[in-house]
Amino acid sequence: MMRIAVIGAAGRMGKTLIQAITDADGVKLGAAIVEPTSSLLGADAGEVAGVGKLSVSIVSGIEQCINDFDVLVDFTTPELSVGNAAFCAKHGKSIVIGTTGLNDEQKSQLEEAGKQTPVVFAPNMSIGVNLTLKLLSLAAKILGDDYDVEVIEAHHRHKVDSPSGTALRMGEVVAEALGRDLKECAVYGREGQIGPRTQKEIGFETIRAGDVVGEHSVWFATEGERIEIAHKASSRMTFAKGAVRAAAWLESKPAGLYDMQDVLNLK
């Protein structure tokens, strides 16, 4: 049975991941990790997550539980995720990363880790979102340059990166399908006398409010019609279930850098 470690186990996403692991077949919680200053060190991870006693004590570092897991699930920060990927590569552990906000250098470091161990990295682990990415690619290829593209996203007030990693990935998918480079055609917000919209730009609009879990909508608009492809998440469980599915999928996989499109066989 695949043993999964959750880092950030006392946080909102960490608790949801533990719930998802408990509900899934073929996997179990092997380790739970929190910050060294946490008051929950030594507590039972299942009781903290509200799923009952699991006999897995919360520890303060990945080094303390190296023999207790096969794959690490990481929804933390770019710096931590990159370091954890390197640690897993060194010690023969797989890793699933749902962290957003990584820069190009950090993504390159994940590629290096993927040369030594299996890594799944995706800005959004939701199965529905990843199906949406497939639909966006298809729509962009069919609609072409005659349609303006706008990406609109909303998240809770605590989210620190903007636009969201999912919104950026949606823009990347559309840009790739249209033969564009998102770094050259992206426009992030608009203000003042900026002039008319250019034909090939891809716009991004960001909303941060309340407790919105995650909403994304992509517009393809032209004279006379508008097509919207949207995804709305109402619970973090959708991301947790996808991450657990990715962790189980990694069993027996060779070293490599994968994404959820690989996990769901959408490529």
Contact (Cβ atoms closer than 8 angstroms) between residue 69 and residue 3: yes
CA–CA separation, 117 and 182 (whole Å): 29
151: three-class secondary structure by DSSP? strand
Q: Which one of 15, 155, 216, 241 is the catalytic residue?
A: 155
The sheet with strand 214-222 has its strands ordered as: 186-188, 202-208, 148-155, 214-222, 225-233
Contact (Cβ atoms closer than 8 angstroms) between residue 102 and residue 82: yes
Q: Which one of 15, 134, 156, 159 is the catalytic residue?
A: 159
Contact (Cβ atoms closer than 8 angstroms) between residue 136 and residue 219: no
Q: Is 183 a catalytic residue?
A: no
Quick one: which of 50, 46, 70 has its CA closest to 58? 46
- Which amino acid belongs to residue 121? F
Contact (Cβ atoms closer than 8 angstroms) between residue 264 and residue 127: yes
68: Cβ–Cβ under 8 A, 6 or more apart, which residues?
A: 3, 5, 30, 31
Structure tokens at 34: 């929190």
CA–CA separation, 67 and 75 (whole Å): 21
Q: Is 267 a catalytic residue?
A: no
Residue pointed to by tokens 């994404």: 259
Question: 41: how many CB neighbours lie within 10 A of its CB?
Answer: 14
The residues that are catalytic are: 155, 159
